[in-house]
Amino acid sequence: MAYWLVKSEPAVYSWDHLVKEGNTCWSGVRNYAARNNLMNMKKGDALFFYYSNEGLEIVGIAKVIKEYYPDPTTEDKRWVAVDIEPVQKFKKPVTLSMIKGDNQLSEMVLINNSRLSVQPVNRKEWIAVLKLAGEK
């Protein structure tokens, strides 16, 4: 199983919105690197749900429930979407400053390529973030 991080502006699509809907189509990605990451997601892969612009924190974990298919929000065949559902909200969100302050997380894509909206997360980073969140 692989790990990922997706970004959302809470004003546009919040964690609570995802929980309310039960699941959602993660569409609208218009960047090749992010698109390639979407295409590499497998059913059951786990994702951190990060708030950009406001919040600046990882609020919880979601998972992939449907692998990539053509993005329904555009006619352009280049772009794809996946379906995700919420798994768990962190009791304590992991803020960007916490991540920046953690030695094990200095290589995170979130730090080094902050504009990428769909990012891979390695196992070491995944565990380190869970630790910061106070989760097991």
Residues in contact with DNA by the rule CB under 7 A? 7, 9, 30-33, 52-53, 56, 96-97, 100, 110, 112-117
Phi, then psi, of 61 in degrees rounded to 5: -120, 135
- DSSP strand pairing (3-8 vs 118-121): antiparallel
* The two structure tokens encoding residue 65: 């429930």
Shortest gap between Cβ of 31 and DNA (angstroms)?
A: 5
Catalogue the E-assigned strands of 52-79: 57-70
Shortest gap between Cβ of 48 and DNA (angstroms)?
A: 12
Residue found under tokens 């502006």: 9
- SS3 call for 7: strand
Shortest gap between Cβ of 101 and DNA (angstroms)?
A: 11
Residue found under tokens 């692989």: 2
**With respect to DNA, which residue has the nearer C-beta, 43 or 100?**
100
Under a CB-based contact definition with an 8 Å cutoff, are residues 4 and 68 in contact?
no
**With respect to DNA, which residue has the nearer C-beta, 24 or 119?**
119
Shortest gap between Cβ of 30 and DNA (angstroms)?
A: 7
**With respect to DNA, which residue has the nearer C-beta, 24 or 37?**
37
**With respect to DNA, which residue has the nearer C-beta, 5 or 61?**
5
